[in-house]
Structure 1
Amino acid sequence: MAGRGGAAYDRRVADRSATTLPGALASPRYLVSGWPWRALGYLVSAPLLLTAALPVLLPVTAGTAVAWAVLARWLSGPWLSVLVALAGAALVAAVAPVAVAPVTSVERLRLGLVDRRPLPPRPAPSGADGWGQLRARYTQPWSWREVAHAVVAVPAAAAVFTALVPVLAVVGVVAAAPLVVLLSDEPVTFGPAVLSRAGEAVPLTLAALAALPVLGYLVGLAAAGLAAAGRALLWGSSAQRLRAELSEVEQSRARIARAFEAERRRIERDLHDGAQQRLVGLTLRLGMARLDLPPDSPASEAVAAAHEEAKQLLAEFREFVHGIHPAILTDRGLVPALRELAGRCPVPVTVDADLPGRPPGPIESTAYFVVAEALSNVAKHSGARRAEVTVRGDGAVLSVRVRDDGCGGADAAAGTGLVGLSDRVAAVGGTLDLSSPVGGPTVVRVELPWGPSQR
């Protein structure tokens, strides 16, 4: 009991102390741990990888066969082989990027057997529509890494599996040699030896058992090599994986910014078409009721007070809706929206804008709210007599500058609202710079990537 308990303890320790198969192979407890079985499971699961590759193999094999049959009518010899090989490579390049995903998914599951390290997230094809996602599969590096992995890993796994199964079968039969001889009515041949009694087969069993540790290490080495190659092909070096993860984070942040902007527009539209219209109707009805009542009656005074409060509430509600997402920005674009914003600022503001067209929605919205926050700070804190808003775009970069002649000394970290705007600018891949020496002037500069239109 104590011996079995100690072996189980050693197995648990070995399993916990290593996170990868190479690390387990370096441990003296490797053979008494679960890692040899993990390695064996990784190797014998090769048929799953081959099955996952069928969406690539079937059309490529069929296309190559058709190319051979067609070209064989006019060519023969080495030229025929070269052209058929080129046709097969072209078919792989055409089919594999869109059909290789099951191979990658199966390999991720198999790698979990021999490598406990977290796997990088599988990139998602970027693109707003199906065509954009399809194009990404032919242009993104990660997609071609998956193709390279399938081209290398599937044949290698199949070759190792083909060599391993006969070896396991031979070792298993040799280990069971006494039982085979015992169940046979005639002498059994094992290589050069002809055995007629079970006792004569015991040395074969001992030899097979002695070979098991060697086989365990060979299986581990083969699985470790294939797994390392698969991980390297799929995710590259640590620096490459870090760059890929950073790229995915940036894309995710941009998707969140677009979703946030779309939600702002939806809320603005719902409030404008719903609650605001009800407030307008309520104000009109109170105004009509006010006209119908005698001027000096108590009811007239109450209705008049309610009417004034309703008008004030409507004005405040319109300002609130405007702050969520101004309708003029959606309907007419950035420049008219900035001119309207400048007209409502208590400090005189001049707007100088020169754009080749409308920027993408998230970029346009970000630029607008940067200017809105900057002008709000001008009105509240700067003591400025005038401000200038300059907007320029060349189809690649949208530049926005807000300058005032106030007292300066603004600090983005002091709660002026620019910290949140800086995060919002960074979310769409832009930069925000604040220059505000004591005594002024204060200048807010923003550069945003123009990018393809997302409207």
Structure 2
Amino acid sequence: MISQPSADRRASANAGPPAAAPLNCRQALTLGPRLLLTSGWPWRSLGYLACGGAVVFLVMAAAMNGLIYVDTLPDYAQLMVVVVLAAALGMPVAAAERLRLRLVDTECVGNPHVAPDAPGLKAWLWLRIGEAATWREFSYAIALTAVLPLIDFGGVLLVGSVVILIAAPFLEPFVDLGPLIVFGYWHISTPLDRVVVVLVGLVLLPAAGYLVTALAAGRAAFVRLLLAPRESEVVARVQELTRSRIRLADAFEAERKRIERDLHDGAQQRLVGLIMTLGIVEHGLVEERSDRAVLVAKARREAEGVLADLRELIRGIHPQLLTDRGVPAAVAEIADRSPVPVHVDITLAERLVSAVETVAYFAVKEALTNVVKHSGARTAWVTGRREGDRLVLCVGDDGVGGARPEDGRGLQGLADRVAVVGGRLKLLSPSGGPTELVVELPWRTPDSA
């Protein structure tokens, strides 16, 4: 016996996915009347307009407090003081408005300002004066005291009037409100008049909810227009973050080179001298059949092992061959030391910048390490060409394939390293092989002028 789905299940299956919840009051206006008026968006819009009036009151109080001391100045001087006050209040008011916007817009508005490169008040002031965002915030501070209060107080007054229409007939027996006059001439005196007034208020309440939400949506759009980061500012910030990341990578790479140089010229040379000294002592004791000769020979072999480990460590930090001869020679050295035969074909007419060379070298090294550990390949290959303004490296093998970035084989870390200089990684690894890892790197970084 085959069971049939119930009518409720069929209905839910045919209903399709539920509609996405609105992210702001503008999207909420597209909902049906029942959904909008039973949601929290009209209340959030009313709260947004009401606290907007509070912000206007605080700004006006601060401005008037500053003008008390300059009322004896000439008119032009007072105008200059007003401009300075608006400029001084623009940034904190804008920050408060961006925060307050979350009442009617769940999408966070970022800070359009960038951090100064140099410390100190002077650098900060010069940067802020030159930013377009500062002058947009100044314009908003002017609008906040001249135009926006009409929207804020108008919306609050509208809802307040409707609430009074509904509540006043019920409060009159308990509170002496005086004669109730509606629309300028309608005197509310009989119970029928009170019922009619309440019905009028209830009819106007949905319209007031729509209108308040629309006013809040318009005000929020105006805030985003002036106080949100522009696309050009976002692009500039991304570019600055990219340059900053490259500078950090360059500083890290310079430190790696310094450590490699210190180990190569310091500890390694001292170990070589120690091995030579032990070799001389061992040669002098070659005729002896004593424990001293055995211990010296053992100490020499241990020192040679430490030297080999140190050279491998130096090569892992930053190989000297990469600094001296570039990527093709350094990759050829990796291939020579690989237990899997590797064919190298890298043709570069000129040297890359240091940061890109380092990323290219370690990308190939990590890829070949994965070939040895995970692929089960018999052969591998590395190719490299310049294509336009990019270096394209390909590391392939004839192994089992099936590699994925989330397998924990270092591919995600490799992708992060490549992304530092603005490169990208592409992995082609069908089950059964072959596997190809394509690394694309910029020929020049933004800071390599």
Which TM bucket (shorter chain)?
Answer: 0.5 to 0.7
Q: Against the structure 1 CA distance between its residues 190 and 37, is the aligned structure 2 distance closer, same or farther, given a 3 Å change threshold?
A: same
Number of the residue aligned with 1:414 = 393
- The alpha carbon displacement at 1:285 in A equals 5.3
- The alpha carbon displacement at 1:46 in A equals 0.8
Number of the residue aligned with 1:255 = 244
Letter aligned with residue 183 of structure 1: F
- The alpha carbon displacement at 1:210 in A equals 2.1
Residues 46 and 156 of structure 2 are in contact (CA less than 8 Å); yes or no, is this contact kept in structure 1?
A: no
Q: Against the structure 1 CA distance between its residues 140 and 160, is the aligned structure 2 distance closer, same or farther, given a 3 Å change threshold?
A: same
After TM superposition, list the pairs within 5 Å mapping 1:185-224 onto structure 2: 188-190=179-181, 192=185, 200-224=193-217
- The alpha carbon displacement at 1:225 in A equals 1.6
Q: Which runs of 5+ in 1 are unaligned?
A: 1-12, 72-79, 327-339, 346-371, 392-407, 428-443
Letter aligned with residue 125 of structure 1: V
Letter aligned with residue 214 of structure 1: A
Flag the structure with more relative contact order, 1 or 2, with Cα contacts below 8 A and sequence separation at least 6.
2
After TM superposition, list the pairs within 5 Å mapping 1:56-455 onto structure 2: 58=62, 61=64, 64-71=67-74, 80=75, 82-93=76-87, 95-96=88-89, 100=91, 102-116=92-106, 118-119=107-108, 121-131=110-120, 132-153=123-144, 155-184=146-175, 188-190=179-181, 192=185, 200-235=193-228, 240-241=230-231, 243-266=232-255, 288=277, 290-292=279-281, 294-296=284-286, 297-323=293-319, 344-345=324-325, 372-373=326-327, 376=330, 410=385, 412-415=391-394, 426=422, 446=444, 449=447
CA distance in 1, matches of 2:219, 2:165: 28
Q: Percent of aligned positions with the same letter in both sequences?
A: 21
SS at match of 2:140: helix
TM-score using structure 1 length: 0.58
* Counterpart among 45, 66, 70 of residue 39 in structure 1: 45
SS at match of 1:122: coil
CA distance in 2, matches of 1:64, 1:177: 41
SS at match of 1:127: coil
Q: Against the structure 1 CA distance between its residues 173 and 420, is the aligned structure 2 distance closer, same or farther, given a 3 Å change threshold?
A: closer
Q: Against the structure 1 CA distance between its residues 37 and 63, is the aligned structure 2 distance closer, same or farther, given a 3 Å change threshold?
A: closer
Residue by residue over 1:420-452, the C-alpha shift from the partner in whole angstroms, topping out at 9 and shown as x without a partner, is: 99866558xxxxxxxxxxxxxxxx97475578x
Q: Against the structure 1 CA distance between its residues 69 and 288, is the aligned structure 2 distance closer, same or farther, given a 3 Å change threshold?
A: farther
Q: Which runs of 5+ in 2 are unaligned?
A: 1-16, 287-292, 336-343, 354-382, 396-414, 424-441
TM-score using structure 2 length: 0.59
Number of the residue aligned with 2:429 = none
Residues 26 and 217 of structure 2 are in contact (CA less than 8 Å); yes or no, is this contact kept in structure 1?
A: yes
CA distance in 1, matches of 2:20, 2:418: 45
CA distance in 2, matches of 1:383, 1:207: 83
CA distance in 2, matches of 1:423, 1:186: 71
Residue by residue over 1:100-139, the C-alpha shift from the partner in whole angstroms, topping out at 9 and shown as x without a partner, is: 1x433433343333334x3453245233333444433222
Root-mean-square deviation over aligned CA pairs? 4.7
Q: Against the structure 1 CA distance between its residues 317 and 21, is the aligned structure 2 distance closer, same or farther, given a 3 Å change threshold?
A: closer
Residues 112 and 227 of structure 2 are in contact (CA less than 8 Å); yes or no, is this contact kept in structure 1?
A: no
CA distance in 1, matches of 2:294, 2:198: 112
SS at match of 1:121: coil
Q: Against the structure 1 CA distance between its residues 195 and 120, is the aligned structure 2 distance closer, same or farther, given a 3 Å change threshold?
A: closer
Letter aligned with residue 111 of structure 2: R
Letter aligned with residue 108 of structure 1: R
Count of aligned residue pairs for this structure pair: 342
